[in-house]
Amino acid sequence: MDSGKQHLMKFNRRWQMFAYVEAMLYAIGFGLFTYFLASSLLIGSLAFAVSLLLLLLIKHPWSQNLKATSSYIDAHVAEASFSTGLLLQPEENLSSLARLQRYKVSNELKERLGTTTPPNKLRQATLVLFALSILGFAVSKLELFNRVNAGLDFNSNSEHIQFVATDSVSNETITPKIIEQVITVSYPSYTRERTKTITESNIKAVINSRISWVLKFDNSVSSVSMDRMGETIPLQQVDNSYKISQSLIESGFYSFKFRNEAGLEFTSNLFSLEAIPDNPPELEITGLEQYTYFDFSETKKIQLQSTITDDYGIDEAYIIATVSKGSGESVKFREEKLYFNETIQKGQSSLIVTKNINLDALKMKVGDELYFYIEAFDEKEPKRNVTRSETYFAVIKDTVTDEFAVEGTLGVDQMPDYFRSQRQLIIDTEKLIKDKPSITVKDFKFRSNELGFDQKALRLKYGQFMGDESEMEEAPIGIETDEASEDHYHTEDQENILKEYSHDHDGDNEHNLVAAQEADEAEDPLHDYLHNHDDPEESTLFEESLKTKLRKALSIMWDAELYLRLYEPEKSLPFQYDALKLIQEIKNSARIYVHRIGFDPPPIKEESRLTGSIKDIDNFRKTQDLDVVHPFKSMEIAISRLEVLIQQQDVFKENDKIIFTAAGNELGRLAIEIPGKYLRILQGLKNIENNTERTIDNYKIVQKGLWSALPKAKEIPGARKVYTDEINSLFLKQLETYD
């Protein structure tokens, strides 16, 4: 039974092999046909490979499986009795009758599959192979394909620069043609690009590349020159060729002109010169936050890793680190240049550099700050491109003089003294925990409750900046019922159990920390329709990130106050530390780094100091007339003139050349950055000037192009001049009389 399945698998492999051979025969025939036509072994091999791949994708013989083979045998071999599928199933899953049938089919297939041929079209493929080979050989011998090529004239000067006469010439005049044209682009040495020879006259190259043209004519000419953005540069004659070499400093346009021996001038079309800029290096610093804070006891090291890339090669890269010491007027700065751990090889286009910055090695102390950034240079000549990264900060925390401030986000300093009390709360709480074994329970609870109130006062001060309502405001006046009055009477008689443990800060007076609002304040009817900037919640005292941190600090202060009120200062202390940490982060994240430079004030004359004399001070008045410069005036004049020519209301005059020349110069300056965009319009202007294409169609094309090139005028709001006739004026006057 297993041998029957093996014969089935052999039949399936033969079927796949016939499909591969069939695709191979078709591909060989097409490859031979292409070889005879092109007379090139490379093209014939390429045609064979492409056609074989396409045929295999169409026929996909690898997808032929045993299930399809079993169905074919059941349909074409009568002895199989449509039971070939039993050979593909496990024997233990079959019934006794199925096993008997499986055994019978296996014996029959051993004899029949050896003489059965899988379906194929090998004969058809062989005939196609011979037919294509004979057809290709016949076409090659009769040279039919070469005659077609001769008619198409593939060796013509279609890529060469074409010239047209600038003046009217007779039909007998022979226009010289370029028979040899070589354009060489030599890139700057630092790019490490090889010199290239191109055939396209529209040139794109790196800035500062050297471009050379070599032109050879079929007839003799007297002089050849290049017109580059209005500058005429003569070509140098070497033997029978004319040569010129130019540096690609900026984008622009160029064309060639020459005169034949008869003195007639010919000019070529306009071609573009596009200078591709050398981009500065790109910097990316990974895995480092912009602000890093260290405690004095920590290991003060920064792991810096950066990826630097450049299009043509990196020349140099280093770190500029500035250490700030002191504060206020006594601040001092020290700048150092730090090099990376890796040696930078010049010319690398991409590299990963690292640096371990040790703050102790920079002799930084508590309260000192470090500002550092990366500078990278490429190899551009004559002046290198430079890229500077963002400034990163590293601070050693000063636990003594660290005060809260919001510099750069507030116009004035609105921070009250209460913002310095969180650290004192921590100190007092730690002292209370330390003194707990040596003091009475009453003193311990009294001091804990006092600290809880101080925490509450601090939280309320912060809450004012977030728009929170004060908890110390007077409650609105309400009507007391008899039941409420009776309860109030009994409440006053009862003894307050916390009275002996607390100093009544939570009363109505509140030690004048927060002023009470007047209960009868009138409600503003426009409140719901206005954006009230006097409301701290609606104003912009803080950035959004500062608001989030401050809101989090307020939430933590709630927990700190709770445990102090419950006489559990040990549980309150961690929350106080978290609140202090958030306050310090708010302070440091809002600071602005300014790279300071030295300033030497002028000397003070003691004899005139504090005298109040102003006799040498004169008034200053300056009057200047400014003329509005219209940069595209000629283009607008040309558009108007073209409209007259399109309507055939006038003929082209000699003075029109001046208009179109000026319009072309303005368009050329506008198109410096994108030469190819306005190339057709510039060529159309030039054809109008040279009288080579003064047609209405060309006028319309040039006019449309000039319209699209004009920048859109800015809309300036103002009164519009509207024409009012006499009847309308009388009508309005009559309305005013009877109003």
Contacts of 561 (CB under 8 A, 6+ apart): 452, 455, 456, 459, 572
578-596 core/surface letters (b: 16 or more CB in 10 A; e: else): bbbbbbbbbbbbbbeeeee
Note the pLDDT of residue 308: 94
CATH value of 163-276 in 2.60.200.20, 2.60.40.10, 2.70.70.10, 2.30.30.90 = 2.60.40.10
Q: Which CATH architecture has domain 282-396?
A: Sandwich (2.60)
Average pLDDT per 10 consecutive residues for the chain, totaling 739 residues: 62 77 86 82 85 82 69 62 59 60 64 66 84 83 52 42 60 71 91 88 90 87 84 87 90 84 80 89 90 87 93 92 79 88 89 92 89 93 90 82 45 42 85 91 90 87 69 44 43 48 50 40 47 48 66 90 92 92 74 54 78 77 72 85 85 84 80 72 81 82 85 62 68 69
Note the pLDDT of residue 339: 92
Note the pLDDT of residue 522: 44
The closest alpha carbon to 430, from 275, 570, 565, 274, belongs to: 570
Give the DSSP H or E segment for 57.
helix 41-59
Same fold, 282-396 and 406-471+539-590: no
CATH class of the domain at 406-471+539-590: mainly alpha
Concatenated DSSP letters of 298-341 = S--EEEEEEEEEEEEEEEEEEEEEEEEES-GGG-EEEEEEE--S
Q: What is the pTM of this model?
A: 0.47
Per DSSP, the three-state class of 444 is: helix
Spans of all domains in the chain: 2-147, 163-276, 282-396, 406-471+539-590, 633-709
CA atoms of 205 and 186, how far apart (whole Å): 9
* 246: amino acid identity, one letter: Q
Cβ of 547: how many Cβ atoms within 10 Å?
17
Note the pLDDT of residue 103: 63
How would you class 36 by CB atoms within 10 Å of its CB: exposed for 0-12, middle for 13-18, buried for 19 or more?
Answer: buried
CA atoms of 51 and 421, how far apart (whole Å): 85
Per DSSP, the three-state class of 542 is: coil
CA atoms of 8 and 292, how far apart (whole Å): 73
CA atoms of 627 and 629, how far apart (whole Å): 6
Long-range contacts of 130-136 (CB under 8 A, 24+ apart): 130/29, 131/29, 132/29, 132/30, 132/32, 132/33, 133/29, 133/32, 133/33, 133/36, 135/33, 136/32, 136/33, 136/34, 136/35, 136/36, 136/37
CA atoms of 305 and 285, how far apart (whole Å): 6
Note the pLDDT of residue 603: 80
Q: Tokens representing 190? A: 């630092």
CA atoms of 585 and 289, how far apart (whole Å): 13
